[in-house]
Amino acid sequence: MHRRSRSRSRSRTFARSAVLAAVSLFALGAAAPGQSAGRGLLLTVSGAENTWIRGVTLQCDPAPAGSHPRAAQACAALDAAEGDPERLAADGRMCTMEHDPVTVTAQGEHRGTPVAWRETYSNSCVMRGETAAVFDF
């Protein structure tokens, strides 16, 4: 495969991921009947060269919900950080020096406060250690 073909393929993969993320954010805005909840967050984890690996939704208001497998713990961690992913408490775990970068994003809102955050970590162990349960999916 030529270099140009791989580049186009990666661009298409990234574009599809962006569309999926936008659709997911739109879905977050549609609360179930009888709920007056906010939009919540779309959380994503990407590998090298911005290849989208996985993403989940997280809604903390009025109660933990969404596709996040540990929604209650993730909401508790975000509440402790006052909704700012930059302030999530590190758990002190020991990680290898392996260089396999992962990038995480949080887009949407947490308890009515807009969130637009992106960070790259040297590997997934470091990412999990620095972001508590929020990106543990």
Q: What is the pLDDT of residues 48-107, one digit of tens each?
A: 776 778 999 999 999 999 999 999 999 999 999 999 999 999 998 999 999 999 999 999
77, 136 Cβ separation under 8 angstroms: no
Residue 39 has a pLDDT of 85
Residue 51 has a pLDDT of 77
104, 131 Cβ separation under 8 angstroms: yes
- Whether 135 has a pLDDT exceeding 90, the answer reads yes
Which of 22-31, 91-100, 116-125 is least confident?
22-31
- Whether 24 has a pLDDT exceeding 50, the answer reads no
Residue 38 has a pLDDT of 59
% pLDDT > 70, the chain: 72
- In tens, the pLDDT along 33-48 reads 333 345 899 999 999 7
Q: 117 pLDDT band (50/70/90 cuts)?
A: very high
Separation in Å, CA 10 to CA 4, 7, 99: 10, 5, 21
